[in-house]
Structure formats: C-alpha cells, structure tokens
Amino acid sequence: MSTSVAGSCPSQAFGAPSKSSSRQAQISPIYEDSARRAEAEQAGADVTVQTQHSQADLLQADSHKCRGTRPVQVLLNHAQTWELMQEEEETLKAINANNKDLHEVLKGLKSWSFDIFDIKKDDLPKMVERIFHDIGLFEALPLDASKFFGFVNSIMGQYRAHVPYHNFRHACDVLHATYLLLTLVEGQKMLNTLEVFALLLAALCHDVDHPGVNNAFLSITNDPLAIRYNDLSILESHHASTTIKTLLAYESTNILAPFSEAEQRHIRKLLVEIILATDMDHHFKIIEMLKSRSSDSNPFECSPPYSMLDSRHNSGTFPEGASSSSQSSSGSQTTVVPSRPSPSSTKDATLLLKMLIKCADISNVMKPFFLSKRWAALLLTEWFRQGDAEKKIGLPVSKNMDSENPVALQ
C-alpha cells in the first residue's frame, strides 16, 4: 500500500516535535563512457575517465606530470589501486553470494536496521522504485515508469564502481534514510509533493560520479573540476550538474518532461539547493539558520500544495470544470487554460529539505553497529587511498587519512 504524499501542513512552532536488471534500460549515449568505465572496473580493469591504460602507462604518466596539474583520475590509478580493486572484487563476490531474496529483504524496508548490503547491486534500482512507489509519487505525479527506470540506471552507471564509500550503494542508503525521515518521522507532512520528489531525487544523485577524494584534494591538485567550479563546492556542484544533465540530455531519461516549464525549473532549483547543502563547508551556516528558526515561535510555513492538475494543464488534459472553451472569429474552438501560480517553496520548507538531506547523508553512524562499522570501514578505505595519493605527490596527509598512522583516528 502506498503512503499518501499529500498531508496537511501542521500549524506548530518550527522547533516543536511532531508525531529488474540494471541494464534493462539503456544508459544515455552521452554517458556511455561512464558506463563503460563502471563495467570495466567491475571486471577488474584499470581505467581513467576517457582512456584505458596499462599499469605501466599509468605509472609512467604519473611520473611525468607536474605537481598541481594532474587530474585525480591519474593519481588514483596506479599499481596499488589495481591490487585494492582485485581485493574488492572478491569481497563483492562474497557479498553477492550471500544475497537474500529481494522480496524478503524489502519487507524490512521501514526499519533503521534494514541491511542494504543484502541487496545485489543490480537489484538496487528496484529498491529505489519501491521507495518512490511507497511514498506515493507515481500516483501523485505524472511519472513515466519506463523513463524513471532509465534515469535510475543511468545514474547508477555514473557512480564509480571502484570507489569504496561514495558509490551507488551509499546513494541508495542515503535515499533509504531520507525515506524513513519522511515516513517514520513524518517529515513529508511538512512538505508538498514536488519538494518530496526533489528531496528523494537529490538523495539518490547527491554523490553521482564521486571520484573518491574530497574537495580540498581536488583544489590543491588543480583538478579540472576545481577549475570549472572555481574551488567552490566542487564535488557538490559536479553532482548537481551531472544530475540535471542526465535529466535533460535524452528523452529516455527525462522524467521531468510531463511537468510544466515552471515546475521543471522549480524542481531543478530544489535539486541544486539540496545537493549543495551536503557540502560540509556550508554546515555551520545551515546549523545557524536552524538555531535561529528554532528559537522563533511562529508556526512552520508550508509551501503551496501541488496538484496533478497543474501538469495536466501542461499536457492539455483537464478534468471537468478545469478549463473553458471559446470560439474565435474564424469559427474554430479554442481552449482557455486557467492561469496558475508558479510553484514555490517557503524558507521553512527549503531549510527543512537541507536538514533532511544532511541527516540522511551521515545517518549510518546512528544505525545498528553491524551496519555502521561496515560503512566506517569503507569510508576509511577511501580516506586511506586519498592519503596514499597525497604521499605519492608530496602533499601533507590529510587528517584521518594516513593508513600508516591509525592513531590519528582516535
């Protein structure tokens, strides 16, 4: 049974408590390179974003690059990475060998103890679809199921398979945490349908094409992404941009097509704001906004509700009484479409969306220990790789990233 998206906005103070296969759909041609890279990495190949290299080629290229001008892909593809990938492949095989029946696993979806590692990678898009169904978005919005599945698979293909932590499984884990915050904590009652939709999409896409290193590393090495985004929210800007490109590049992945132009712009705006909120450089600013709003006794201001009628206006299909007809001087019949305001979100709703994604993004630390320790191990693996890359090019090793000094974690 689907959970209804629509809900009455609670009149309370802001701070007061309230009650199929991943390859079924083709990946967009513009992202075929990302897909090939992911597939090759899963097979144990050592590749960069654009060109495949042998281990010797990578090491030779690395030695000829000047410090501060090397893209991160070259830095992270060397013999040691090759060995780590081989180990991970064996680990993934062991995980998949123990995978349980998907239907049985998804019975525990509405629990913080839900073990996302019990789901095979190729079945993760089905979990995504299940969450969107359970929230009621396929009933409340003009979503095309085929395009939705194509979009999810395209996004999955752009998450890098060799990145230990910031991969598609992490994205689905954050989506799941967002789902629980919307349902068990009843966050969806304070948001309209478009906001819930944008939040879940952002959760799924918030780390797409993450290279496995942080913004500071990209900036200090003059990575092309750092240059493109002027050292400002480098990764988060890239994730948001990649998400929008995937939505708009091809008809097969454009799940926003049935929405009006104003609705599409609003959803895109929300996606960018939500994904950028995951940048820890914005953390204290957002927390200060929350503290300020929590001390305000005014009721939470909900955004105007969304109705499917709005998108029917855009497609030319109207319920009885929703439009009127008139006759032109030439005798032809014309349809008069009622005017409607452009969608908008209040400051309260926008702040809540940012807080929800932030909480979901780091939620694994408050899950049962058997889950949190597994995520911690994957994160450490990723950090240690960055630390090794920093040593290799003569940079100071970032905090918590020295594989030879685990004491730094205490």
Q: Largest alpha-carbon pair distance within the chain?
A: 84
Binding residues: 170, 206-207, 361
Closest CA to 115 of 167, 176, 168: 176
Burial class (CB in 10 A: 0-12, 13-18, 19+), 215: buried
All structural domains of the chain with their residue ranges: 29-310+348-409
The four Cα atoms 178, 182, 187, 191 give a dihedral, to 10 degrees, of 90
Are the C-beta atoms of 96 and 88 separated by less than 8 Å? no
Q: Which residues are annotated as a binding site for Zn(2+)?
A: 170, 206-207, 361
C-beta of residue 289 within 8 angstroms of C-beta of residue 351: yes
- Using CA atoms, how far residue 120 sits from 26, 111, 141, 219, in Å, is 19, 19, 29, 35
Question: Under 8 Å CB-to-CB from 373, ≥6 apart: which residues?
Answer: none
Catalytic residue among 64, 133, 162, 166: 166
Predicted local distance difference test score (pLDDT) of residue 67:
40
d(CA 127, CA 173): 10
Task: For residue 271, give the nearest of 249, 241, 248 by alpha carbon.
Answer: 241
List residues bridging with 336 in a β-sheet: 324
Report the pLDDT value the prediction gives residue 90, as an integer from 0 to 100: 52
Burial (CB < 10 A; 0-12, 13-18, 19+), residue 5, is buried
Check if 166 is active-site.
Answer: yes
Q: Are strands 324-327 and 333-336 parallel, antiparallel or unpaired?
A: antiparallel
The whole-number pLDDT of residue 298 equals: 95
Name the strand (E) or helix (H) holding 334. Answer: strand 333-336
CB 276 within 8 A of CB 240: yes
Among candidates 354, 348, 343, 211, which has minimal Cα distance to 271?
A: 354
Gap between the Cα atoms of 189 and 201, Å rounded: 18
pTM: 0.76
- The three-point CA angle 208-210-211 to 5° equals 150
Task: For residue 326, give the 3-state DSSP assignment.
Answer: strand
Radius of gyration of the chain (CA): 23
Digit-by-digit pLDDT tens for the chain (410 residues) are 555 555 556 544 444 444 433 333 333 333 344 444 444 444 443 333 333 333 333 333 333 333 444 455 544 544 444 455 555 555 555 555 455 789 999 999 999 999 999 999 999 999 999 999 999 999 999 999 999 999 999 999 999 999 999 999 999 999 999 999 999 988 899 999 999 999 999 999 999 999 999 999 999 999 999 999 999 999 999 999 999 999 999 999 999 999 999 999 999 999 999 999 999 999 999 999 999 999 999 999 999 999 876 555 444 444 333 444 445 455 555 544 455 678 999 999 999 999 999 999 999 999 999 999 999 999 999 999 999 999 999 999 999 999 988 665 65
* CATH level 3 topology of 29-310+348-409: Catalytic domain of cyclic nucleotide phosphodiesterase 4b2b (1.10.1300)
Q: Give the 3-state secondary structure of residue 67.
A: coil
Residue 347: which residues within 8 A CB-CB, separation 6 or more?
A: 301
